[in-house]
Amino acid sequence: MIEPIIKIKDVSIVYNIGKENEFHASDHVNMEIYPGEYIIFFGPSGCGKSTILYCVLGVLPPTSGQILVKGENPYAYSAQEMVRYQTKVIGIMYQAFYLIPSLTIMDNVTLPMIFEGIPPNERKIRGQALLNRFGIGQHGHKLPDALSGGQIQRVSVARSFINDPQIILADEPVGNLDSKSADQVMDTLDEINRVDKKTIILVTHDAKYLPYAHRVIYVRDGKVARIVPNPEKKQIAHVDKQKTLVTEMEQLAKVHPYLSPSELKVKSMINYLTQDFTLEQLGGLEKYSKLMIDGKITKDRFYELLTASFESGGLEIRPSVAREMAEKTDRVLMQAKDVGRYRRRLERNNFFGTENKLIIKLLGYVMAEFELQLDGLIKKRLKDLIYDRISGLHKKATFLKKLYLPREEGGLGFSKERASQITQYFEKLLIQGIETEGKGH
Ligand code: ADP
């Protein structure tokens, strides 16, 4: 089992202690970051992301709690050890580039090596190699002024990299760049993570970068609101299976970062039910689906609300469509209860493999929903597949693929369209079946 490279234990950071403007910027923050992970601190401006970053950098001691990097407390270091820490262990890049305007690009990049006592020749060779690598090899002799924002930011990637630190911190590094330069810098950071296996902590308030991360740490009001593993990336940290299960939920969470899991469930249901509705109707559907998902109204009341006139608070949805929506919602919610039951047993390590009655029930639901007539072999394969998906052994993509893979290749041989319908449907059951109430996040 690999050890975390960074451990943050119950860290609180208070600015201006005892003064009128005392401010609690970090509030009992806990996290563990593993070597080679790409971590994003995500949250709105002012929520306390950079505060944690600077604490890791060794320039902002915790007011209480402890931080350990590679098992050591950097705040116990001597001045000399701290210099080594901030060159060999940690490198940082900022949104403002902090290059020295009177020095050439090459000198700016190689400056940190001076503190390491590396001779000029070697500095130059390594500096040039890095500039080449980041696509700015021909600019070494120029002053920072002569380069574009994107080029400058690549200079600062090179600079943060020059002493080959194990951890790179990046504080909104692309916040000031046009989108093309931003993408280039983000790709460079990604490469440093994938190829050089550096641990990266990136601070951003822009959701579009979240897919780069192994795990996203949502920060809000100085607290860690939740930690979400990216299901598209092979995880380095140990991640609870339950948390990697629902791809669509995670995807929705990326688009709606501040919705709670229960609100995301509503969104997911709406995505499933709606095609051509007005915004007003969609808004109303969310409201009424939430009531139904929360068990506050019955299927019949839901139907009434959907079909009633606008004046009376209804949505004027055609009765046949509304009827189907009410039926579908009811069915998914009912069937999802079995997913919930199964998952709870799984969590208690109390599951009975693919012969479990609940799995067989779920198999029945899927077969009924799509009126499937299956022979023994395919039925067994579908049951196993359901078991694997619900237990978190397969991702959504694998589930889908197995459905349409030919029988000879171990699949179920459905058409792609049918496979995709079954997958969508089953994901709905999974989402609605995941417990969200009473668990904090
Ligand atoms: P983020 O990186 O999420 O934008 P920061 O960690 O920079 O947030 O800041 C969190 C809060 O702490 C902000 O409200 C900010 O105004 C406050 N803050 C940051 N630095 C200081 C400081 N040196 N003194 C007092 N308050 C500060």
Report the C-alpha gap between 210 and 88 in whole angstroms. 27
- Phi/psi class of residue 392: alpha, beta or left (left: φ > 0; alpha: ψ in -120 to 50)? left
Report the C-alpha gap between 27 and 129 in whole angstroms. 42
- The pick from 42, 50, 51, 171 for probing ligand 1's pocket by mutation, whose C-beta has the most ligand atoms within 8 angstroms, reads 51
Q: What pLDDT does residue 1 have?
A: 72
385 pLDDT more than 80: yes
Token pair 């943050």: residue: 8
268 phi and psi angles, rounded to 5 deg: -60, -40
166, 199 Cβ separation under 8 angstroms = yes
Residue with the larger pLDDT of the pair 189 and 281: 189
The residue contributing the CA closest to ligand 1 atom 13 is 46
Name the pLDDT band for 245 (thresholds 50, 70, 90): very low
The residue contributing the CA closest to ligand 1 atom 25 is 15
Q: What domains lie within the chain, and their CATH numbers?
A: 6-239 (3.40.50.300), 263-433 (no CATH)
Query: Which residues, other chains included, contact 360 with Cβ-Cβ below 8 Å and sequence gap of 6+?
Result: 383
Nearest to 35 by CA among 232, 237, 216, 243: 237
Query: Which residues, other chains included, contact 390 with Cβ-Cβ below 8 Å and sequence gap of 6+?
Result: 339, 342, 343, 346, 359, 362, 430
Would you give the DSSP letter of residue 72? B
- Phi/psi class of residue 73: alpha, beta or left (left: φ > 0; alpha: ψ in -120 to 50)? beta
Q: What is the mean pLDDT of residues 314-340?
A: 87
Q: What pLDDT does residue 248 have?
A: 57
Q: What is the pLDDT of residues 405-416, one digit of tens each?
A: 999 999 999 999
Percentages (nearest 5) of helix, strand, coil residues in the chain: 50, 15, 35
Report the C-alpha gap between 429 and 135 in whole angstroms. 48
The residue contributing the CA closest to ligand 1 atom 26 is 15
Residue with the larger pLDDT of the pair 342 and 151: 151
Helix segments in 100-258, DSSP class H? 105-115, 120-133, 149-161, 179-194, 241-244, 247-255
Name the pLDDT band for 122 (thresholds 50, 70, 90): very high
Q: What is the mean pLDDT of residues 307-316?
A: 89
423, 400 Cβ separation under 8 angstroms = yes
pTM over 0.85: no
Residue with the larger pLDDT of the pair 264 and 24: 24
Q: What is the mean pLDDT of residues 337-352?
A: 68
34 pLDDT more than 50: yes
Strand ranges inside 137-264, DSSP E: 167-171, 199-204, 215-220, 223-229
Query: Which residues, other chains included, contact 194 with Cβ-Cβ below 8 Å and sequence gap of 6+?
Result: none
Does ligand 1 come within 6 angstroms of the Cβ of 138? no
Query: Which residues, other chains included, contact 376 with Cβ-Cβ below 8 Å and sequence gap of 6+?
Result: none
Structure tokens at 411: 């699949």
Does ligand 1 come within 6 angstroms of the Cβ of 16? yes
What spacing in Å lies between the alpha carbon of 24 and ligand 1's midpoint? 9
Percentage of the chain surpassing pLDDT 90? Answer: 45
Q: What pLDDT does residue 437 have?
A: 47
326 phi and psi angles, rounded to 5 deg: -60, -45
- The pick from 11, 12, 14, 15 for probing ligand 1's pocket by mutation, whose C-beta has the most ligand atoms within 8 angstroms, reads 15
Would you give the DSSP letter of residue 276? S
Report the C-alpha gap between 218 and 228 in whole angstroms. 8
- Number of CB atoms found within 10 A of residue 240's CB: 10
Q: What is the mean pLDDT of residues 169-191?
A: 88
348 pLDDT more than 80: no
Q: What pLDDT does residue 424 have?
A: 86
What spacing in Å lies between the alpha carbon of 204 and ligand 1's midpoint? 14
Beta strand 6-15 with 167-171 is unpaired
Residue 51 CA, closest ligand 1 atom number: 6
Type of residue at 245: L
Does ligand 1 come within 6 angstroms of the Cβ of 52? no
Report the C-alpha gap between 267 and 269 in whole angstroms. 5
- The pick from 50, 55, 172 for probing ligand 1's pocket by mutation, whose C-beta has the most ligand atoms within 8 angstroms, reads 50
Q: What pLDDT does residue 231 have?
A: 66
Does ligand 1 come within 6 angstroms of the Cβ of 25? yes
Name the pLDDT band for 440 (thresholds 50, 70, 90): very low
Q: What pLDDT does residue 441 have?
A: 32
Residue 45 CA, closest ligand 1 atom number: 4
What spacing in Å lies between the alpha carbon of 251 and ligand 1's midpoint? 29
The residue contributing the CA closest to ligand 1 atom 21 is 15
Does ligand 1 come within 6 angstroms of the Cβ of 352? no
